[in-house]
Structure 1
Amino acid sequence: MDGRSPLRPSALLETVDQAISIKYNNLVYDLEATGHDIVTLSLGESFFDVPAPDFGGFEPDELHHYSHSRGLPELRRRLAKYYGDEFGLPVDPDHEILITAGSKVAIYLALLATVEPGDEVVVLEPSWLSYATQVWLCGGVPVSVPHDVGVFELDRYVTGRTRAIIVNNPNNPSGRVYTQAELDFLHELAERHGLLLVADEAYNEFVAPGTRFVACGAADSGKRHTLTINSMSKNYGISGWRVGYVIAHRTLIEQILKVNQHLITCAPTPLTRYLAENFDTLIERTRPQIQRVVETRNEVAGWLAERGIEVLPGSATFYLFASLGDSTLGSDAFAERLLRESGVSVVPGIAYGESCDHYVRISVGAETPERIRRGIDAIARLIANTGG
């Protein structure tokens, strides 16, 4: 025996922390299970009136077995039409789209298929918290851009080792939507340096009323350098279903398909079958509810402003990224104390990058306006009580 433990973790995973947002949500679940009333402003989902799925009209063979590892063909055709009709991005459903178990794993599969060890991937802060970790798990090097650096300054973060840029549009956690000029610049940058532009559009339906979302890939219809990730789970208010997809050039889809087959096999067959059959009905049902939650989000921005709490610019999603102002606490300490003393959960800003440690993410998708106000009041009090 050489004294090594069979339970030792890999050296790589010993450097990886839990996903902070999920860690806080698990704390909420544990507290609620023991009878605590928690104002939950940390959940990364919205709660809609969506009917329970009825699988009664399907044959058992349509539900209980594997489906195509690219995704159910009927659903691929629906999603291809959605991107073509809504955003002007033509998609070949047979070769340019792959459906898998959630957009989170879709991003990881895409990175595994494209990032070589040592490749750099530019990540714009505030960045969805798993980008950097997923790049690291692929052997790449995440290059973080502080939140106060503009898109038009990204040239100085690109080196000879840069492989890709990840853009979250609309942004989680700020709700920011990229302008057409910014998207044009990103395409030009990608073309000039031979980079892959990864567009995470998981919140594309959550834009302010009266505005129209512009898909990043619409300016790259040949998909020469753009790879699009999206989520049916988020946009239908069914986060627990874990259904996401990738749109890319067929060359990349073929590589992502191999990884999907080895890790996932296929997205959940009964859920994708139901989504294919009820695609239009679900959109019609959820869109008015999406508009209401975005309106609530922007109303809450006003409540925060009334209390002197600044937020990073944004108008979309159901998130706000709020500054801790004069508080002397770091975001993790602030969130922990807020939960312990006031029964209000938020996500620490440090989850979204080193430059974001003086912010917290507030989500308004899971609570009533009255309870959101209660949570905002608690945040304002804690900022005041911990000021320098």
Structure 2
Amino acid sequence: MMQVSKRIAAARPLATTAMHERVDILRLQGESVIDFSIAISHFPAPASVRAAVAEALQQPLLPYTAVGGAPALRQQLAGKLREENGISAGAQHVIVTNGAKQALYQSLYVMTDPGDTVIVFRPHWPAYVATGQLLGLNIVLVDQPEVVDAAFLDRLPRAKVLIINNPHNPTGKVYTKSELDSIADWLRARRCHAIVDESYEKLIFEGVHHSLAACKDWEELGIVTIFSASQSYAMMGWRAGFASAPAVWVKAMEALQGPITAAVPALSQVAAEAAFAVGDVPELLADYRVRRDLVVDMFATQPWIKMPAPASGPYLWGDISGITRDTVGFAETLIEEFRVAIMPGEALGCPGFIRIGYIADDETTLRKGVQAIISLGKRMAES
């Protein structure tokens, strides 16, 4: 009998991608489905990105680049880190990747050995846990507090790596400078390293984005910072991301990436160069703010759900534990009866919650999908 390796036998597809693929299958069968399971922007990629790629396609050659990315791109991204994030980085601290997931995998791979402990705050992006499990790591889930301070951090177990998502998916939390200073002090005291996923850095409604690595000793502390164009620049399918890391880890990540994918495709690198030069995205942010407020207002009159307005990001995180903690069952009923897809909280470590990606489609479709969720919630609350 054909068998798979022990390394992969226990692995399962990410719940986030599995639900989205289920939507795709239903649509191929002719079904009309509203997909809130992941965040896919209704905005196109920035005009400068599309223009840069169109120009590159007119060139006679698209050669291989260095595994870690074209030198000019790495220099540009290092400049972005210095100017926008306050991270003292050079080209040797940058590696260009196929989105944030590759950066995460390669970072954890070179920073840890099987059996090492990694702390992940809950609720969490599912890829943090899945990647750690693939690498044989001991994943410790800790409930993320409203405020991260020294007292909270002192209660954490010993670990090799702490993973932080700032801004946070799915709650929208934006870490304050004080919180990040407390984390940096804790890293120094514990000799723990950190991976900080800053993929939503441009999608902030309230608060100011700060980078943990904007401290003088970031390289000594071992802080890896991950960036992606997918959400900040509405470029989900372009797979354009990068990481900044201590130079010795960048070299190790290149050694890992080389035999797997080699360099990111040349066109994706062209897109990344144009995207990360854009800076802020006020038009996109203003549109998302209106949508966020619309959905929060629609839920405000419903006693069975607590749906706060997030300070950042393309997701809403709703507490429906008053009617059920089985949000897998809630999501199943919703897609089967109403043809609306959401992400159950179990996928992010928190039963009793639902995650809604509210940035796709038009406003009419958005309202229709939210109304379906309200209809199911009211039915369950009254039963």
Q: Structure 1 residues 365 and 13, CA, compared in 2 at 3 Å: closer, same or farther?
A: same
Contact 2:229 2:241 in 1 (8 A): yes
Q: Once the two structures are superposed, what CA deviation does each residue of 1:277-304 show, in whole Å capped at 9, x if it has no partner?
A: 5654x557x5421332144224422322
Out of 20, 26, 38, the residue aligned to residue 25 of structure 1 is 20
Contact 1:55 1:274 in 2 (8 A): no
Q: Secondary structure at the match of 2:360?
A: coil
- 2:149 matches 1:155: no
Query: Which amino acid in the other structure matches residue 156 of structure 1?
Result: R
Q: Structure 1 residues 312 and 263, CA, compared in 2 at 3 Å: closer, same or farther?
A: farther
- 2:56 matches 1:59: no
Q: In structure 1, what is the equivalent of residue 346 of structure 2?
A: 350
RMSD, aligned α-carbons: 2.1
Q: Secondary structure at the match of 1:145?
A: strand
Q: Structure 1 residues 40 and 295, CA, compared in 2 at 3 Å: closer, same or farther?
A: same
Q: Structure 1 residues 74 and 101, CA, compared in 2 at 3 Å: closer, same or farther?
A: same
- 2:157 matches 1:168: no
Out of 83, 86, 89, the residue aligned to residue 85 of structure 1 is 83
- 2:234 matches 1:237: yes
Q: Structure 1 residues 256 and 300, CA, compared in 2 at 3 Å: closer, same or farther?
A: same
Query: Which amino acid in the other structure matches residue 85 of structure 1?
Result: E
- 2:198 matches 1:208: no
Q: Structure 1 residues 148 and 184, CA, compared in 2 at 3 Å: closer, same or farther?
A: closer
How far apart, in 2, do the equivalents of 1:106 and 1:124 lie?
Answer: 19
TM-score, structure 1 as length reference? 0.90
How far apart, in 2, do the equivalents of 1:56 and 1:323 lie?
Answer: 47
Deviation for aligned residue 1:146: 2.3
Contact 1:129 1:351 in 2 (8 A): yes
Equivalent runs, 1:175-254 vs 2, <5 Å: 175-208=172-205, 211-220=207-216, 222-225=218-221, 226-254=223-251
Q: In structure 2, what is the equivalent of residue 375 of structure 1?
A: 369
Query: Which amino acid in the other structure matches residue 87 of structure 1?
Result: N
Query: Which amino acid in the other structure matches residue 258 of structure 1?
Result: A
Query: Which amino acid in the other structure matches residue 110 of structure 2?
Result: A
Query: Which amino acid in the other structure matches residue 206 of structure 1?
Result: L
Stretches (4+) displaced over 4 A = 147-150
Contact 1:47 1:366 in 2 (8 A): yes
Contact 2:115 2:138 in 1 (8 A): yes
Q: Once the two structures are superposed, what CA deviation does each residue of 1:159-215 show, in whole Å capped at 9, x if it has no partner?
A: 2xx101000011111111112221111111111000111100011011016x43212
Contact 1:236 1:283 in 2 (8 A): no
- 2:360 matches 1:363: no
How far apart, in 2, do the equivalents of 1:374 and 1:380 lie?
Answer: 10
How far apart, in 1, do the equivalents of 2:73 and 2:131 lie?
Answer: 27
Q: In structure 2, what is the equivalent of residue 143 of structure 1?
A: 140
Query: Which amino acid in the other structure matches residue 272 of structure 1?
Result: Q
Query: Which amino acid in the other structure matches residue 113 of structure 1?
Result: V
How far apart, in 2, do the equivalents of 1:56 and 1:219 lie?
Answer: 37
Deviation for aligned residue 1:21: 1.0
How far apart, in 2, do the equivalents of 1:214 and 1:329 lie?
Answer: 34
Query: Which amino acid in the other structure matches residue 191 of structure 1?
Result: R
Deviation for aligned residue 1:115: 0.9
Query: Which amino acid in the other structure matches residue 66 of structure 1?
Result: Y
Out of 310, 317, 322, the residue aligned to residue 313 of structure 2 is 317
TM-score, structure 2 as length reference? 0.91
Contact 1:203 1:317 in 2 (8 A): yes
Q: Once the two structures are superposed, what CA deviation does each residue of 1:310-342 show, in whole Å capped at 9, x if it has no partner?
A: 136731011011111432351111111101111
How far apart, in 1, do the equivalents of 2:289 and 2:160 lie?
Answer: 34
Deviation for aligned residue 1:121: 0.3
How many residues of Structure 1 are paired with residues of Structure 2 in the alignment?
373
How far apart, in 2, do the equivalents of 1:43 and 1:133 lie?
Answer: 17
Q: Structure 1 residues 85 and 295, CA, compared in 2 at 3 Å: closer, same or farther?
A: farther
How far apart, in 2, do the equivalents of 1:24 and 1:86 lie?
Answer: 35
- 2:96 matches 1:99: yes
Q: Once the two structures are superposed, what CA deviation does each residue of 1:345-384 show, in whole Å capped at 9, x if it has no partner?
A: 101111111xx11011101111222222222222122222
Contact 1:177 1:314 in 2 (8 A): no
Out of 294, 297, 309, the residue aligned to residue 292 of structure 2 is 297
Deviation for aligned residue 1:148: 5.1
Contact 2:39 2:358 in 1 (8 A): no
How far apart, in 2, do the equivalents of 1:121 and 1:37 lie?
Answer: 41
Q: Structure 1 residues 295 and 316, CA, compared in 2 at 3 Å: closer, same or farther?
A: farther
The answer for unaligned runs of 5 or more in structure 2 is none
- 2:38 matches 1:43: yes
Contact 2:293 2:309 in 1 (8 A): no
Q: Structure 1 residues 352 and 115, CA, compared in 2 at 3 Å: closer, same or farther?
A: same
Q: In structure 2, what is the equivalent of residue 341 of structure 1?
A: 337
How far apart, in 2, do the equivalents of 1:38 and 1:237 lie?
Answer: 21
Structure 1 range deviating more: 302-311 or 258-267: 302-311
Structure 1 range deviating more: 113-122 or 287-296: 287-296
Deviation for aligned residue 1:47: 2.5
